Amino acid sequence: MDIMLTEKQIRVLRYFRDYRREKGIAPTLDEAAAALGVSKITIHEHLNQLARKGAIHRDRARARAVAILYDPDGAVGGAGDAGRSAVPSLPLVGSIAAGRPIEAIEDRQDLELTDLVPTGDQIYLLRVRGKSMIEDHIDDGDLVVVEKRATVRDGEIAVAILEGEEATLKRVYREPGGRYRLQPANASMAPIIVQDLQIRGVVRGVIRRFR
């Protein structure tokens, strides 16, 4: 991989690379600005350019989340410390039918795991207990990826806190009279109708380990 960088961008990239190698995390914008003798805004602009050119990966939802993908001194993302700091990815090598057979064609591309599972300070995981959401393909033992939110749109799957601090995972619908219907995705279970609830988050994804 050959990336065209300016001398100033290389200077910033080297500083972030060396800082990560020494301390295991990326520096803050303030630390980088002080070390390089420039403004915090200048560091921010250089990082944006480095991200656009593919030299780094930034998770804007987390502080110090700068992964080095390109070493300006010759090592490319798979070697040494630069490789260890890169965003994990897995190869997507094609498609397979779960119904009738199709011709197997390999068409590889790499998917970063952050494209499949959102990350950031507002994201957390919960382990599911029970089968009330089984028809939405959320099974007992699965992990749900939850975005921390205090509001929910009709029909979203939410983490709801009921009276008595009881937590449940259901689709939430507003009902007449200011009430809420918590709808399970299991035909054998009845909905829960409540007057008050607290929303602690909305489901963004499901992780299931093959077993």
Give catalytic residues, as residue numbers. 132, 170
- The string of DSSP codes covering 103-136 is ---EEEEEEEHHHHS--STTEEEEE--SSTTGGG
3-state helix, strand, coil in the chain (%, to 5): 25, 30, 45
Which helix H or strand E contains 40, and what residues bound it? helix 40-52
DSSP assignment letter at 19: H
Write the burial class of residue 79 (CB in 10 Å: 0-12 exposed, 13-18 middle, 19+ buried): exposed
Angle at CA of residue 167, ends 166 and 169, nearest 5°: 145
Residues across the chain? 211
- Say which amino acid occupies 113: L
